[in-house]
Structure 1
Amino acid sequence: MNTVLFLTIAGLFSVTLMGNIIRIHLIRLDTPLHSPVYFLLSQLSFIDMMYISTTVPKMAANFLSRIVNHFFCEVPSLLPLVCQDTSQYEYTVLFSGLIILLLPFIAILASYARVLIAVYQMSSGKGQTKAISMCSSHLIVASVFYGTPLSTYTGPHTLHYSEEDKVVVVFYSIITPLLNPFIYSLRNKEVMGAMRRVLGKWIFVQKI
């Protein structure tokens, strides 16, 4: 079973890494994508790559030699092993989680609320539908990314169960970096057009 999980995590890691690498190269190679928006998207891809590269390889390796009952040394998985009172430490983790996770999430929700207000004031029904579809997918990913670690870091360790924590950590450490390239690229006509242009140039060069 551990071998299957190792191969699954390694496969998801590879797909996520390749998706973000492809997006970075598309933005770099295609001149029409040289704009502030796509520069920020390339930085998001870079951050996602760094993020998963710091945790996921170790997570996959731990399937082959696991001592702690978790994918890696997360705080909730370590607290039950402590023989002393951890209440003060839990309060510190709770306070840090509220500042680091909850405040940015509230800011994101507030910004999207303003976007949606502007969208509903648009006269074009087609534009409204497109904008709402894009915003909803972004909000889903943001909710998964911030909501799952909030449930991990802001709840008392007595309410944590190892199997549930494992599922939660997969969502914010693997699923969101995996979804980002697809949401911001495959649903974007400009990025898909860039992909066709780059592939067309590559095929043309191969034929010469």
Structure 2
Amino acid sequence: MVWVGNQTLISHFIFLGLFTHSPLHIFLFSITMIMFLMALSGNGLMILLINVSPHLHTPMYFFLSWLSLMDLMLISTIVPRMAVDFLMGSISFTGCGLQILFFLTLTGGECFLLAFMAYDRYVAISNPLRYSVVMSRHVCWLMVSGSWLFGLVDGLIQAVFTLSFPYCGSQEIDHFFCDVPAVLKLACADTSLYETMIYVCCILMLLLPFSVISASYLKILVAVLRMRSAEGCQKAFATCSSHMAVVSLFYGAAMITYMRPQTYHSSKQDKVVSVFYTMITPMLNPLIYSLRNKEVARALKKLLWRCLCSREQD
């Protein structure tokens, strides 16, 4: 701690976390670590399959590989740090700032990436003849770069402003990671104006991409209803249903957390909802896309067959 005048400024924080050291919570902690390993292996496998399978080198799977990378990095930003704090103790002031930066960069980037993925599906279904021109490799890279840029700007602004406040008194963050609203409760200054700015910023970061997603799927629905082929309709719905499931999980939890005024928040609710988009969604995304996607399943079978053949040759 650092003394400034009559106040003691905090140099590190302590998470109250999700779990205590009771037998039940130790069991739940073990489940969380299993979820973490499943998310790592699932997203890692998706990235591998998309990169080694030539028939998956399309814009849709290009975006999906980046989504898997973001999910992998997001859960790696949260769970290992949570495990360290559960087993050992505190997080430094700088470490908390870096976690805010990485967390907001990845969640903000994923918001925009999901919007671009919805637009990609709209172009593929509504205008298939011009798909390769509209969704060229250059455009895809611009979309992915834009997603990272928007997320990084949001993360930098919020991390810098959050850490610019003095923190004194209690060191205990009533959360399992450095979420900005939970950290600001420990500030020794009036943060009401900044909290209002964060609220507006979060609404923009969520509603702008969500508007693109909603508009894209509305147009997709119109295009599908106009199709005369039942097989074409079924294929279009199958392609989009996985993405819609992922959007529902991610945006549903994020909107409940960040679009409610602070007066309606409780620490227990925030923790439970945060688990969905920091742990459960990154774990489920690879399963949703792989179980409902024949091309991914075919790529996995080919990869397993290659591994089996190479072992037999050895």
**What's the TM-score once normalised by structure 2's chain length?**
0.61
Q: Which of the numbers 50, 71, 77 marks the counterpart of 1:48?
A: 71
Are 1:74 and 2:153 matched, yes or no?
no
Range with bigger deviation, 131-140 or 165-174? 131-140
The equivalent of 2:38 in structure 1 is: 15
Counterparts in 2 of 1:56 and 1:98: CA distance versus 1, 3 Å: same
Are 1:184 and 2:289 matched, yes or no?
yes
Range with bigger deviation, 132-141 or 50-59? 132-141
| CA deviation after TM superposition for structure 1 residue 171, in Å | 0.8
The equivalent of 2:60 in structure 1 is: 37
Aligned-partner SS, 1:63:
helix
Aligned-partner SS, 2:177:
coil
Aligned-partner SS, 1:23:
helix
Segments of structure 2 that go 5 or more residues without pairing to the other structure are: 1-23, 91-171
| CA deviation after TM superposition for structure 1 residue 83, in Å | 5.3
| CA deviation after TM superposition for structure 1 residue 157, in Å | 2.3
The equivalent of 2:201 in structure 1 is: 96
Provide, for residues 86-114 of structure 1, a one-character-per-residue CA deviation record: whole Å limited to 9, x for no partner: 32122111111012112111111111111
In 2, the alpha carbon distance for the partners of 1:22 and 1:33 equals: 13
Partner letter of residue 132 of structure 1? F
In 1, the alpha carbon distance for the partners of 2:238 and 2:51 equals: 27
Does the Cα contact within 8 Å between 1:70 and 1:77 map onto a contact in 2?
yes
Aligned-partner SS, 1:73:
coil
In 1, the alpha carbon distance for the partners of 2:57 and 2:241 equals: 26
Are 1:147 and 2:170 matched, yes or no?
no
Does the Cα contact within 8 Å between 1:9 and 1:60 map onto a contact in 2?
no
In 2, the alpha carbon distance for the partners of 1:205 and 1:137 equals: 33
Are 1:166 and 2:189 matched, yes or no?
no
Aligned-partner SS, 2:260:
coil
Identity value in percent: 48
Does the Cα contact within 8 Å between 2:68 and 2:286 map onto a contact in 1?
yes
Partner letter of residue 27 of structure 1? I
Does the Cα contact within 8 Å between 1:60 and 1:71 map onto a contact in 2?
no
Provide, for residues 57-105 of structure 1, a one-character-per-residue CA deviation record: whole Å limited to 9, x for no partner: 2233333347422111213323444454432122111111012112111
The equivalent of 1:4 in structure 2 is: 27
Aligned-partner SS, 1:164:
helix
Size of the aligned set, in residue pairs, is 208
Counterparts in 2 of 1:190 and 1:130: CA distance versus 1, 3 Å: same
Does the Cα contact within 8 Å between 1:79 and 1:157 map onto a contact in 2?
no
In 2, the alpha carbon distance for the partners of 1:19 and 1:131 equals: 25
Counterparts in 2 of 1:121 and 1:62: CA distance versus 1, 3 Å: farther
Partner letter of residue 34 of structure 2? G
Q: Which of the numbers 108, 129, 152 marks the counterpart of 2:234?
A: 129
Structure 1's consecutive aligned runs of 4 or more residues displaced over 4 angstroms after TM superposition are none
Counterparts in 2 of 1:139 and 1:128: CA distance versus 1, 3 Å: same
In 2, the alpha carbon distance for the partners of 1:83 and 1:98 equals: 26
Greater share of residues in helix: 1
| CA deviation after TM superposition for structure 1 residue 14, in Å | 0.8
